[in-house]
């Protein structure tokens, strides 16, 4: 099991404006942008920032999630977290980038775990 990267979540209503700002702030280009139609969200990544865009109503259930951990084996993390006091808030499901789940850690921290699809 390995956490590949931790992404800081930034919630916005205007994705284009946010991308422009964070590209300048980090002096990096946006490396991914995609629609998550099932949740009425659009997401982008600039550096270690995961920018999540939607209406206030749509963003409301996601705002309590404090970070996104990109992991190498999401099932192994699910097993580990359940064995160590974690509570599954949103179970494993397919998302545009692979598979994710949202977990409340024993200390109360809420984290999204994502395993990206392997590209072949």
| Predicted confidence (pLDDT) per residue in 58-74, tens digit | 999 999 999 999 999 99
Range 3-116: architecture per CATH = Roll (3.10)
- Kind of pairing between the strands at 49-53 and 3-12: parallel
Tell me the C-alpha distance between 105 and 30, whole Å. 30
pTM here? 0.87
**Could you tell me the two tokens for 89?**
């808030």
What's the pLDDT score for residue 119? 57
What six digits make up the tokens of 56? 């206030």
Mean pLDDT of 87-116: 95
Task: Write out pLDDT tens, residues 6-60.
Answer: 999 999 999 999 999 999 999 999 999 999 988 899 999 999 999 999 999 999 9
Residue 61 backbone phi and psi in degrees, to 5: -70, -15
3-state DSSP assignment of residue 118: coil
């Amino acid at each position: 099991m390995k956490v590949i990267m931790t992404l800081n979540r930034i919630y916005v209503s205007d994705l284009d404006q946010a991308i422009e700002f964070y590209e300048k702030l980090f002096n990096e280009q946006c490396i991914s942008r995609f629609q998550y139609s099932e949740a009425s969200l659009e997401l982008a990544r600039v550096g270690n920032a995961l920018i999540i865009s939607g209406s206030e109503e749509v963003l409301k259930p996601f705002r309590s999630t404090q970070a996104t951990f990109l992991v190498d084996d999401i099932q192994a993390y699910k097993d580990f977290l359940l064995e160590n006091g974690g509570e599954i808030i949103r179970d494993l499901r397919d998302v545009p980038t692979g598979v994710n789940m949202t977990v409340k850690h024993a200390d109360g921290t809420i984290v999204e775990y994502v395993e990206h699809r392997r590209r072949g």
